[in-house]
């Protein structure tokens, strides 16, 4: 299913809620912020607390990736 993430918007493998989360996660990764349109889309599925949790978790994952990339750290050895 991970291989389907790049084409998630047009995939039948994901629900509309999952597509909203995938799109928001990608936007946070690219820009470190969410557009009003993306926030409005997420609000259809999540309350305020859940939105905070989603943004914080995606941000922590991005922070972790940036730190490990900066040090060329091997997280999962081949």
Helical ranges in 1-78 per DSSP H: 16-31, 36-43, 48-70
Total domain count, the chain: 1
Asked if residue 31 belongs to a domain, the reply is yes
List, for residues 13-58, the tens digit of each pLDDT value: 999 999 999 999 999 999 999 999 999 999 999 999 999 999 999 9
55-75: pLDDT as tens digits = 999 999 999 999 999 998 887
Q: What is residue 78's predicted lDDT score, i.e. its pLDDT?
A: 65
Whether 16 is in a domain gets the answer: yes
Question: How far apart are alpha carbons 43 and 24 in whole angstroms?
Answer: 11
Nearest in space to 42 (alpha carbons), one of 27, 59, 20, 16: 20
Say what the pTM is: 0.84
Residue 52 lies in a domain: yes
Non-local CB neighbours of 37 within 8 Å, separated by 6+ positions: none
The parent domain of residue 18 ranges over 2-70
Nearest to 23 by CA among 13, 33, 9: 9
Tell me whether residue 42 is in a domain.
Answer: yes
Residue 76 domain-assigned? Answer: no
């Amino acid at each position: 299913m991970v291989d389907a993430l790049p084409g998630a918007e047009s995939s039948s493998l994901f629900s509309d809620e999952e597509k909203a989360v995938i799109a928001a996660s990608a936007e946070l990764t690219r820009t470190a912020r969410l557009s009003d349109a993306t926030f409005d889309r997420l609000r259809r599925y999540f309350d305020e607390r859940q939105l905070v949790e989603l943004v914080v978790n995606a941000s922590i994952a991005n922070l972790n990736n940036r730190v490990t990339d900066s040090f060329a750290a091997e997280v999962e050895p081949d």
